[in-house]
Chain A
Amino acid sequence: MDDARIKQGRDGWNWLWAWANPVKFMEISGWLLPWATGIAVVTLAVGLVWGFFFTPEAARFGSSVKIIYVHVPTAMMAINIWVMMLVASLIWLIRRHHVSALAAKAAALVGVVMTLAALITGAVWGQPMWGTWWAWDPRLTSFLVLFLFYLGYMALWAAIEDPDTAADLTSVLAIVGSVFALLSRYAVNFWNQGLHQGASLSLDAEENVSDVYWQPLVICLVGFVALFVALLLVRTRTEVRKRRLHALQMRERMADA
């Protein structure tokens, strides 16, 4: 009976683990990719155009407030992509599905770009708001740390030749890095409490932003998530194909020898 239940349990998750099979993954992702791309293009176009051109300028902030349509989604994605990489790394370490490791690798570049975009848009916004491009504020500092984590992760991937070793080591790094990223978050909070924390930075969508800005912002958030999914699928598919190409080349070399 137990076996039956285990089997049933496994079948229940089959739709998920089917992604782990590269052939199945290429099939499913090939079907999914145009949809994700379409959703991303449409929602981003609607959200950004609505946000930039059809919302009134804020009384206190002027037109610079509109950068939230890029700043908030990229900041959100910067953190979420790291979480996604952590989950993918755990799946790789526990169940050794290659697609999972490749997806984590593929996500890193998107993540680092999102982090950089959040930092840059934040600086552009911070300049007129606080009169400075950069402040050693807890949020800014922890994003800088996150940026360093992404760089280290990608550098480690690039430095190791054997793909399985690289996947193992970067997975370990992702796990340890997550613990320390959390720790850094609290550390910088503690370190610089109440020195620079500008009120405008706590512009949490639910609390401070009025309805006019809220609706396009949600659309932009959806757009950025879809954009990430699309980019992730493209990059993971590229990684899978690279792996196949490598295997073919190896086989050819073996045949020649």
Chain B
Amino acid sequence: MIALLLRDLRLSVRAGGGFGLGLAFFLIVTALVPFGVGPEAAILAPIAPGILWVGALLACLLSLDRIFQLDFEDGTLDLLATAPIPMEGAVVMKAVAHWLTTGLPLVIAAPVFGGLLNMPPEGFLWIMGSLALGTPALSMIGAFGAALTVGLKRGGLLLSLLVLPLYIPTLIFGAEAAARGMAGFEAMTPMLMVAGITLGSIALLPFAAAAALRINLR
């Protein structure tokens, strides 16, 4: 399983697929917002956590169809299905690889982009924390969506449509936690909810995703 993880990471870095793409998209979203709503700090600062969360979510969405598609096309997925590791484990590793290449860079870069949006420094830790807790759930949910649509020719848009409603709870709690933390309010409750969604997703969705993959490989 570790070998699978390392392979996926190496592929995404070397083959020019995905790594950095999410980050670039994140930059585009954050850079466009001030042009859209105006550069006043008084407007930008309060909405910064929400913008960063929406940006992170869209960046995740952009790279989802990479999770299984290439492996499905070149037959690696069939080999994985017959490999001695359970399908669920392979799904988790795929999601982890996706998170390491998409989610983690977003978490680390969040303060920089927060600075672009005039986010006060008190909010940096909160946005990093909420993203760090929430993006694994985005990757896991995305892996489930990708597993559902892996056999389809043009599954990209459908994948977005399927995953979008599933992302909403994570987005609401994540953005709420960051916004409350930045404003100095009690933010532990939404933070714990995000953690709960992430843990629940990691506990349950691998089974659903593996089931979907098996059906698609049948």
Distance A157 CA – B164 CA, assembled complex (angstroms): 17
- Tell whether, in the assembled complex, residue A180 and residue B211 are in contact, meaning their CB atoms are under 8 Å apart: no
**Which of B84-92, B105-113, B168-176 participates in binding chain A?**
B168-176
- Tell whether, in the assembled complex, residue B218 and residue A152 are in contact, meaning their CB atoms are under 8 Å apart: no
Is B6 positioned at the interface, with any CB of A under 8 Å from its CB?
no
- Tell whether, in the assembled complex, residue A148 and residue B164 are in contact, meaning their CB atoms are under 8 Å apart: yes
Contacting residues of chain B (188-207) with chain A, CB-CB under 8 angstroms: 189-190, 193, 197, 204-205
- Tell whether, in the assembled complex, residue B176 and residue A168 are in contact, meaning their CB atoms are under 8 Å apart: no
Contacting residues of chain B (137-163) with chain A, CB-CB under 8 angstroms: 144, 148-149, 151-152, 155, 158, 161-162
- Tell whether, in the assembled complex, residue A190 and residue B161 are in contact, meaning their CB atoms are under 8 Å apart: no
Main secondary structure of the interface of B (DSSP, over half): helix
- Tell whether, in the assembled complex, residue B162 and residue A172 are in contact, meaning their CB atoms are under 8 Å apart: no
Contacts A172-B208, A172-B212, A175-B208 given; does A184 touch B152 at CB 8 Å: no
- Tell which of A145, A172, A190 touches B168, judged by Cβ atoms closer than 8 Å: A145
- Tell whether, in the assembled complex, residue A159 and residue B173 are in contact, meaning their CB atoms are under 8 Å apart: no
Q: How distant is A158 from chain B, measured CB to nearest CB, in Å? A: 9
Q: How distant is B95 from chain A, measured CB to nearest CB, in Å? A: 15
- Tell whether, in the assembled complex, residue B216 and residue A183 are in contact, meaning their CB atoms are under 8 Å apart: no
- Tell whether, in the assembled complex, residue B211 and residue A190 are in contact, meaning their CB atoms are under 8 Å apart: no
Contacting residues of chain A (126-157) with chain B, CB-CB under 8 angstroms: 145, 148-149, 151-152, 155-156
Chain B residues within 8 Å of A187, by CB: 168-169, 172-173, 193
Chain B residues within 8 Å of A184, by CB: 165, 168-169, 172
Chain A residues within 8 Å of B168, by CB: 145, 180, 184, 187-188
Is B166 positioned at the interface, with any CB of A under 8 Å from its CB?
yes
Contacts A155-B158, A159-B152, A160-B152 given; does A190 touch B166 at CB 8 Å: no
- Tell whether, in the assembled complex, residue B148 and residue A169 are in contact, meaning their CB atoms are under 8 Å apart: yes
Is A63 positioned at the interface, with any CB of B under 8 Å from its CB?
no
Chain A residues within 8 Å of B125, by CB: none
Is A61 positioned at the interface, with any CB of B under 8 Å from its CB?
no
Main secondary structure of the interface of A (DSSP, over half): helix
- Of A145, A149, A159, A184, which is in contact with the most chain B CB atoms at under 10 Å from its CB? A159
Distance A70 CA – B158 CA, assembled complex (angstroms): 31
Distance A156 CA – B166 CA, assembled complex (angstroms): 15
Distance A184 CA – B155 CA, assembled complex (angstroms): 25
Contacting residues of chain A (175-222) with chain B, CB-CB under 8 angstroms: 175-177, 179-181, 183-184, 186-188, 190-191
Distance A181 CA – B144 CA, assembled complex (angstroms): 16
Distance A155 CA – B172 CA, assembled complex (angstroms): 25
Chain B residues within 8 Å of A176, by CB: 144, 166, 205, 208
- Tell whether, in the assembled complex, residue B151 and residue A165 are in contact, meaning their CB atoms are under 8 Å apart: yes
- Tell whether, in the assembled complex, residue B155 and residue A159 are in contact, meaning their CB atoms are under 8 Å apart: yes
Q: How distant is B199 from chain A, measured CB to nearest CB, in Å? A: 13
Quick one: closest A residue to B168, CB to CB? Answer: A184
- Tell which of A156, A183, A186 touches B148, judged by Cβ atoms closer than 8 Å: A156
- Tell whether, in the assembled complex, residue A190 and residue B208 are in contact, meaning their CB atoms are under 8 Å apart: no
- Tell which of A159, A175, A180, A183 touches B149, judged by Cβ atoms closer than 8 Å: A159
Distance A145 CA – B204 CA, assembled complex (angstroms): 21
Distance A188 CA – B197 CA, assembled complex (angstroms): 14
Q: How distant is A237 from chain B, measured CB to nearest CB, in Å? A: 27
- Tell which of A175, A177, A191 touches B165, judged by Cβ atoms closer than 8 Å: A177
Distance A133 CA – B158 CA, assembled complex (angstroms): 29
Is A173 positioned at the interface, with any CB of B under 8 Å from its CB?
yes
Distance A133 CA – B166 CA, assembled complex (angstroms): 25
Q: How distant is A188 from chain B, measured CB to nearest CB, in Å? A: 7
Q: How distant is B154 from chain A, measured CB to nearest CB, in Å? A: 9
Is B215 positioned at the interface, with any CB of A under 8 Å from its CB?
yes
8 inter-chain pairs at a CB distance below 8 angstroms, sorted by A residue, are: A159-B149, A159-B158, A169-B148, A169-B212, A172-B211, A173-B162, A180-B169, A190-B172
User: Which 10 pairs show the lowest CB-CB distances between chains A and B?
Assistant: A187-B169, A148-B165, A152-B162, A183-B169, A187-B172, A168-B215, A191-B172, A180-B166, A152-B161, A145-B165
Q: B interface vs A, CB < 8 Å?
A: 144, 148-149, 151-152, 155, 158, 161-162, 164-166, 168-169, 172-173, 176, 189-190, 193, 197, 204-205, 208, 211-212, 215-216, 218
For the complex with contacts A173-B162, A180-B166, 6 further pairs of A-B residues with Cβ separation under 8 Å are A151-B161, A152-B161, A156-B149, A159-B149, A159-B155, A169-B215
